[in-house]
Amino acid sequence: MSVTQLSTADVVRQALRGKRLDLRGTIFQLALLLTLIVSLGVLAALLVQVIGDGWVVFRDRGVDFLTSPLSASAKRAGIQQGLIGSVILMIFVILLAFPIGIGAAIYLEEYAKDNTMTRFMTANIRNLAGVPSIVYGLLGLAIFVLVLKPLTGGLSAFSGGLTLAVLVLPIVIITSMEAIRAVPQSIREAAYGVGATKWQVVRHHVLPYASSGILTGTVLSIARALGETAPLILVGAITGVFFQSSGNPIDRLQGPYTSLPTVVFSWTRLPAAEFRHLAAAAIMVLLVVILAINATAILLRNRYERKW
Amino acid sequence: MSAQAISREHGLAAQLSGDPRRRRREALVRQAFLSAATVSLLISALIIFSLIGRTIGFLTQVDLSSLWSIGWFPRRGFFDIKTIVVGTFLVSAIALMVAAPIGLGAAIYLSEYASPRARRLLKPILETLAGIPSVVMGYFALNFISPEIVQRLSSRASLFNVACAGIGVGILVVPLVASVAEDAMHAVPGSIREAAYGLGAKKMTTSIRVVVPAAVSGIVAALILGISRAIGETMVVAIAAGATGGHLFTVDVFGPAQTMTGAMSSLATGSDQVRGATGAYPSLFFVGFLLFVMTFGLNVVSERFVRRVRKRY
C-alpha cells in the first residue's frame, strides 16, 4: 500500500518537473542572445576596420593631422577646418536649440491646458522628430540660404548652424518634456501651497528636479548634431578644399565652412587609398568625441536618476 | 452678505493675487515659453511651404513625360520617379531584412529573458550602435560590408552596390526597432505572463505565443518606423550605393543604383553647378517632397499602432 502511494507521488513529481532539458527553449534563447552578439560583432568589426585604416596617419603625422587645413595632397591634408566648423555648429545648437527647446517643453508640460491646440503641437513635434534629416537640409537651403541670405551670407556656417539647431529642436523638446513630466505632482502642489507663483514653482522646484533628465537629453542631442552630415551638404558645407576667410568673426560665420563628418564624407568618396586612411583617421577623432559625449550622458543618467 | 463683507473679500482677493509687478512678470514668462513652443509650428509650416512651393515650380518647369522615362539623370532632363523610388525600396527592403530579425530578437531577449544585470551590460551595445553617425556607417559599408560580405556572396557584385548600402542602413536601424519593440513588450502586464505559466507554458511558449501577440501593434509600429528611417537615411546610400550623377532604372541589388536620398545628395555635391541646369536644382525639392510625404505617412501609421498598445494596457 505505502509502496504504491510513494510511486504515485514520484510519477506526479516527475510529470510536473517535465523533461530535464528543454532543448528547443534553450536554442531559442541562444538565438535571441545571438542577435546581441551579432550587434557587438558589427561594432567590433567597425572599430577594427577604422583603426586598421586610420592609425597609420597618426603614426606618421601625429597632431599635424589635427592642425592642418584641408588640402588636395593627402600628405598635407588635415581636419583643422572640420574641427573648427563643428565647434561653431555646436555653439549654434547650444545657444538656439537648448533654450528654445527647454522653453517649449516647459510651456507644453506646465502652462498649456490639455486642449486641441496643445495636442496638435505635441503631435507636430513628434512628427518633426521623424522627418528625415536631409529634409531639414532642404528647409535650410530654401529659408536660411536663399531667403535670409543678407543675414546668413548664403551657403555659410551661419546657415549650417541654424539648420542643425532646427534639426535637434524636436529631440530636445521631447526629452525635456519627458524629464519634466517625471517630476511628481505633489512637489508642485507643495510649492503652490506655500504661495509660490507658477514661474517660481517651475524655476525653484520643477527644473532642478528635472535638470538631470534634461541634461542627458540635451547632451545626447549634441552627439546627434555632431554626426549629422546630410543636411549640411545641402546648406553648403564644403566637400572640397577651401581657404578660411580670415578677419572678424562675422565674416567667418558668413563665409565657407565644413564640419568633421563632412570632411569624412568627402575623403571617403575619393578613390585614392591615402584618402581612405585620412577618412578613417578623421572617423577615429569623430567617434572618440561622440562616444565620450554619449558615455557622459549615460553616466549622468545613472548617477542622478531618481526613483520617486 | 453685507457691503462691508464684500469689500473685505475684495481686499483679500487683491492681496492673494500678489502685486502687479509680480503678475506682469508671470505673464511675461508665460509669453516667452509660449513663443518658444510656437517655433515648432513655424518650422513645420516653413518645411511644408518651401517644399510645396518649389515642387510646384519644378512641375510647371519640366516636361511631365520626363518623370516617367529611362532613368534618373537630372542634368540631362530625365527625372524618372520609378528609378529612385524602386532604388529606395530595394535599400529599405534589405535594411528591414537585417534590422527586423536582429532588432526584434534583441527586444525579446532584453524584455523577456535578460536579468537586470544582463540588461545593464547588453543595453549599451545597442546604445553605442545608435550613436554611430551615418557617415561612419557609410564608410564601413563601402570598405568592409561590400568587399567582405557582398562581393563574397556574389562574384559579379560591383564595389558600389545596393546590397551593402541596404545592410549598412539596416544596422543603423536596429537600435530603433529594438527599443520601440522592447517598450511595447514591456507594456504587456506581468499578470498575462503569469497566467500563461499557470497553464504550464514554457518560457519560450509564453514569449512567442503570449507576449509577442499581445505586443503585436507595437512590434508592427517598430518595423514601420524602421522602414521610415531607412527611406530617409542618406549618407550610407550616398557613399556606398554608387550612382553619383544618375542611373538607369535597375532592380539589380549587386550593382549601383540611385535612391531618393542618394539623388538629393549627389545633386547637392555634384561637381558641375547644380544651379545651372534647368530643372536639376528644383528637382531636389521635388524629391524631398516625395520623401517627406512617404516618411510622414509611415510615421503617422506607426503612431496609430503605438497608441493601440497604450490604450489596451
Please give the full DSSP string across B20-59, using - where no structure is assigned. HHHHHHHHHHHHHHHHHHHHHHHHHHHHHHHHHHHHHHHH
pLDDT digits (tens, 9 = 90+) for B5-18: 666 666 666 666 66
Q: Looking at the structure, do residues B174 and B153 belong to the same domain, yes or no?
A: yes
Nearest partner of A127 among A177, A171, A161, judged by Cα:
A171
pLDDT digits (tens, 9 = 90+) for A24-62: 889 999 999 999 999 999 999 999 999 999 999 999 998
A118 located within any domain: yes
pLDDT digits (tens, 9 = 90+) for B39-97: 999 999 999 999 999 999 888 888 888 888 888 888 778 888 999 999 999 999 999 99
Residue B268 has, within 13 A of its CA and on its CB side, a CA count of 33
Q: How far is CA A69 from the centre of its chain?
A: 27
- Work out the pLDDT band at B270, boundaries 50, 70, 90: low
Which residue range(s) make up the domain with B53?
A: 3-61
Which residue range(s) make up the domain with A148?
A: 61-304
Predicted local confidence at residue B46, as pLDDT: 96
| B41/A29 Cβ within 8 A | no
CA distance B4 to B131: 69
Task: List strands edge to edge, sheet with B247-248.
Answer: B78-79, B71-73, B247-248
Q: Looking at the structure, do residues B57 and B76 belong to the same domain, yes or no?
A: no
**Closest CB to B126 among A39, A265, A280:** A39
- Work out the pLDDT band at B276, boundaries 50, 70, 90: very low
Q: Tell me how many domains chain B contains.
A: 2
Domain holding A269: CATH number?
1.10.3720.10
Predicted local confidence at residue B251, as pLDDT: 83
Q: Which residues in chain B have their CB less than 8 angstroms from residue A133's CB?
A: 232, 234
> Look-up: residue for cell 530636445?
A172
B88 touches chain A (CB under 8 A): no
Q: Looking at the structure, do residues B270 and B168 belong to the same domain, yes or no?
A: yes
User: Average pLDDT for residues B188-206, to the nearest whole number?
Assistant: 92
Residue of B nearest to A130 (CA): B299
**Candidate from A12-16, A30-34, A222-226 with smallest mean pLDDT:** A12-16
Decide which of A303 and B7 is more confident. A303
Task: Identify whether the C-beta of residue A278 lies closer than 8 Å to the C-beta of residue A70.
Answer: no
- Work out the pLDDT band at B267, boundaries 50, 70, 90: confident
Q: Looking at the structure, do residues B40 and B110 belong to the same domain, yes or no?
A: no
Q: Looking at the structure, do residues B241 and B292 belong to the same domain, yes or no?
A: yes
Task: Identify whether the C-beta of residue B104 lies closer than 8 Å to the C-beta of residue B281.
Answer: no
Q: What is the DSSP string of A167-221?
A: HHHHHHHHHHHHHHHTS-HHHHHHHHHTT--HHHHIIIIIHHHHHHHHHHHHHHH
Q: Looking at the structure, do residues B230 and B126 belong to the same domain, yes or no?
A: yes
Decide which of B28 and A71 is more confident. B28
User: Average pLDDT for residues B243-271, to the nearest whole number?
Assistant: 83
| B285/A230 Cβ within 8 A | no
pLDDT at residue B271 tops 50: no
Q: Looking at the structure, do residues B8 and B146 belong to the same domain, yes or no?
A: no
Domain holding B182: CATH number?
1.10.3720.10
Q: Looking at the structure, do residues B232 and B106 belong to the same domain, yes or no?
A: yes
User: Average pLDDT for residues A98-123, to the nearest whole number?
Assistant: 95
Beta partners for residue A307, in sequence order:
none
Q: Looking at the structure, do residues B51 and B194 belong to the same domain, yes or no?
A: no
Decide which of B30 and B4 is more confident. B30
Q: How far is CA A106 from the centre of its chain?
A: 21
Q: Looking at the structure, do residues B20 and B118 belong to the same domain, yes or no?
A: no
Q: What percent of chain A has pLDDT over 90?
A: 65
Q: Which residues in chain A have their CB less than 8 angstroms from residue B285's CB?
A: 138, 142
CA distance A236 to A155: 5
Task: Identify whether the C-beta of residue B305 lies closer than 8 Å to the C-beta of residue B224.
Answer: yes
Chain length of chain B: 313
- Work out the pLDDT band at B273, boundaries 50, 70, 90: very low
pLDDT digits (tens, 9 = 90+) for B297-311: 999 999 898 888 777
Residue of B nearest to A125 (CA): B40
pLDDT at residue A123 tops 60: yes
Q: Tell me how many domains chain A contains.
A: 1
Helix segments in chain A, DSSP class H: 2-17, 23-61, 64-67, 80-92, 98-106, 116-130, 133-139, 149-152, 157-181, 185-193, 198-201, 207-227, 230-234, 249-254, 260-269, 273-304
| B139/A283 Cβ within 8 A | yes
Predicted local confidence at residue B15, as pLDDT: 64
A200 located within any domain: yes
Predicted local confidence at residue B281, as pLDDT: 78
Task: Work out the number of other CB atoms within 10 angstroms of the CB of residue B55.
Answer: 20
A-B contacts at Cβ under 8 angstroms: 241
**Closest CB to B204 among A25, A139, A199:** A25
Q: Looking at the structure, do residues B205 and B121 belong to the same domain, yes or no?
A: yes
Residue of B nearest to A170 (CA): B40
> Look-up: residue for cell 529606395?
B88
pLDDT digits (tens, 9 = 90+) for A266-295: 999 888 889 999 999 999 999 999 999 998
Mean pLDDT, all residues of chain B:
88
* Confidence (pTM): 0.89
